[in-house]
Each structure stands twice: as structure tokens, then as C-alpha cells.
Amino acid sequence: MARQAGIGQEELRRVNVSALLTRVHVSGPTTRTALTAELGLNRSTIGDLTAQLGAVGLVSEEVPTQGRTSGRPSLVVMPRDDVTVLAITLDVDRITVALVGLGGRVTDRRTRVHQRGQHDVAHVVGSVAQMSRELLSSPRADRCLAVGASAPGAVRAADGLVRFAPNLGWVDAPFTELLSEELQMTVSTGNDANLGVLAEHLRGAAMGFQHAAYLSASVGIGGGFLVGGVPLRGAEGYAGEIGHIPVDPAGPVCRCGALGCWETKVGENHLLVDAGRLPGGGPDAVAEVIAAVDAGDRRATAALESVAHWTGVGLRTIVNLFNPQAIVVGGVLSQVWAAREDLVEHGLQRPTLIAPQQHLQIRPAGLGEDSSLIGAAELAFAPLLADPLGTTVPLPVRRPWTGRGQAKDHDVSKVKPGPG
């Protein structure tokens, strides 16, 4: 980035090295020439910054092996994916813990399914800690920096307190604090939809859009919003509870006490019960209903058509409130959109929207079921990306060849670079 008026030399270095590492973290291997052009810096500055990042083991450089032309080739700067974080998603029916490397690649994961319903926060923390330790015991986790977690509820931005997660039965649950104590690591927690829109913006279906919404439904509906490229959080982090937008004054009564909330019309269980199935089957059960529709099942057809219509009605409110360029749908909404796009569009009624919406795009989640998981990883990586040279990072572990598998790990030294 170019020199800004009034900014000191150290702060300028922090800004520039942050921009460089963020660029290769999000976009992958990038030549020095491309970084020079995109960041507005000269070649020698790019060389100095990559050298500093390389010295602490955050990037590596290679000579390109393809597309060589005459002259000296531009070195390719690559994120070191042995620098990792733990990413955790708490869903209504499962826990997923993954090791994610710098650059966004999931290198290992564990998933544990559980019964839907209320769960004591201490037991959930115990399960998450056990799964996390399994991954942390791997050599791939030698340089694990922090933990990011996704929760299906309202999360207080200041300290990660899970203020309200009805599908888990939590009110003021200190999940973040308890897990940090259990693992003795820094833990950051965010709302699942807020993390979903972040991930889809960086790596999924909302790439390139500065105004986007991510909406995902299972038992309830979560919404995450990007406004001018900035996540919408609200005063304390509770923005986005769009499942309780009223769409039908005739009801039914929602669990929140209001009439006709959006989630009473498009939730997973609503579709399953109306189609003659038992509630709680998850995405596989929804897929079975859609298959039954394709086979001519009239009851399943009526249920799916109703959910598709009310999906569009709710999206209409979202469009009028936020005027997004793109809406990314996940969970049940993604399945319904793929099966009955025409009925969703009919409920949306594009021609009568307040703002011209001929360019509005509705897309299924590009990261599939991993949107919130990748978003949790980005939450954990955020401090490193903001100040790469001011963050203590374990150096790579050298494992000498013994002739028979891996040797014992060397001790990991933690160093911080001097002035540069």
C-alpha cells in the first residue's frame, strides 16, 4: 500500500506486511510482480516484506515452473499452510473440529454427531476439547496459533459469550471462556451466519461483492450481512436475527411468541412434517423429500412448494432492507432454491421490489456446509493477518531423517523479528 500522510514508519510497515500476507492467504500463491502492482509498492519493498515473512515462517518463495519467458522469472510467494488454526462449528446435530492452514485449506477434521435438543455447555466443551486434542496431537498442528468457533446463536462481540442459542438450550453460556481454559489457547467465537458471510465473501459465492447476504436455515434461520465490504454486527454483535422477521400475520405462533415468523414457514422441520416425515432428519431428510417430489408424491410436493414460496417472501424483505448485490443461501434454503428456483422467484416478485434488482444474484453457498467452519478459521487468523510481525509464531519444526519414519520433534522456539 502507498505511504499515507501522517503514518509512522513502523505503522506503515505493519500495514504493508499485513496487506501482503492477507493477499496470499486469501488468493493463494502470487508472484512478486503481481504483488507489486496490486499493493502499489516497489519491487525492493516487496522483496523486503517477503523476506521478513519468510524469516518467521509465514511464507515461502519458489521459482515458477510453468510459463517461463526470457529474463529472470518473478518469484512466487506462497502462504505456509503448516501455520494453522483450529476451526470449530457447533451445529444442532453435530460438532466439527478442523485444522485449517494459512491459505484456507482444511488439512484434517473430526466430526461427532449428537442428538438434537438441549445440551449442557460443560459437556459440549468437554467434547470439543477432546476432539481438538486429537488434532493438536498431530505433527500438522505443531504451529497451531489459536482457535475460532462458530455458534448457532447470538454471540456477544466483546467476549464471545453465547448470549442465546435456543437450538442448544443456551442462555448466557460461557462457551468461549470455558474452552479457552480447557485448551489453554486463545479462543474467539462468532455467530455462524456472520462467519458464513465472511467466508463466502473471501472464498465462496460472494467473492467480488461488497454488499452481500448469507442466509442459512436448519431448525431456525441465520443471517449474515456485508455492507460496503464491512460485516454488519450491530452494537453488541447481535445483528442478523432474520428468522424472526414477520411474514404471515395468520401465524403460526413462533417459539419467540410472535405470529408468522419467517422460520415457522421455511424451517427444516416445517418442511419435513408437512411432507409427512418425522422432524429432525437434517439435510438428508430434506433431500429425501425433494426426491419424493420428483417421484410424484403430492404431499411432499405441496410442502416443498409452500416452503419455496415463503422463502421468496422472506427474501423480498431482505432485499428491501439491505439492497444486496448477492444473496448466498445455505442449508435448507440452498436445497429448496436448487429444487424450486421458479417458485422462490415468484415469491420474491422482483419486478415490484423498491430498488431495481435486475442485477441481484441469488447463489447457493460456494463452500457448501463448510461456510461457517472456514469463517471460524478466518476469525482465528485475524490477529495474525492484522499484525504478522508483531505476533509470536512458532518456527517450523525440523524433523531429521532417521531412516525409519519420523524422528522425535525438536523443541519449538518462539521468536519475534527485530526491527526491519
Q: Which residue has the cell 468437554?
A: 126
User: In this structure, which amino acid lies at residue 311?
Assistant: T
pLDDT of residue 17: 96
pLDDT of residue 3: 52
Phi, psi of 252 (to 5 degrees): -80, 180
Q: What ranges do the domains of the chain cover?
A: 9-79, 83-192+371-386, 205-366
319 within 8 A of 297, measured Cβ to Cβ: no
20 within 8 A of 35, measured Cβ to Cβ: yes
Q: Are 9-79 and 205-366 in the same CATH fold?
A: no
Bridge partners, residue 246, by sequence: 261
- Region of 280 (left: φ > 0; alpha: ψ -120 to 50; beta: rest) is left
The domain defined by 9-79 folds into Arc Repressor Mutant, subunit A (1.10.10)
pLDDT of residue 399: 56
378 within 8 A of 202, measured Cβ to Cβ: yes
User: In this structure, which amino acid lies at residue 357?
Assistant: Q
**CATH classification number, 83-192+371-386, choose in 3.30.230.10, 3.30.390.10, 3.30.420.40, 3.90.79.10:** 3.30.420.40
- Helices 192-203 & 371-386, crossing angle to 10 degrees? 80
Domain 205-366 has CATH 3.30.420.40: yes
Per-residue pLDDT of the chain (420 residues; tens, 9 = 90+): 555 555 688 899 999 999 999 999 999 999 999 999 999 999 999 999 999 999 999 999 998 876 555 556 789 999 999 999 999 999 988 999 999 999 999 999 999 998 887 899 999 999 999 999 999 999 999 999 999 999 998 999 899 999 988 889 999 999 999 999 999 999 999 999 999 999 999 999 999 999 999 999 888 898 999 999 999 988 888 888 888 899 999 989 988 888 999 989 998 888 999 999 998 888 899 999 999 999 999 999 999 999 999 999 999 999 988 999 999 999 999 999 999 999 999 999 887 777 666 778 999 999 999 999 999 999 999 999 999 999 988 888 765 544 444 333 433 333 333 333
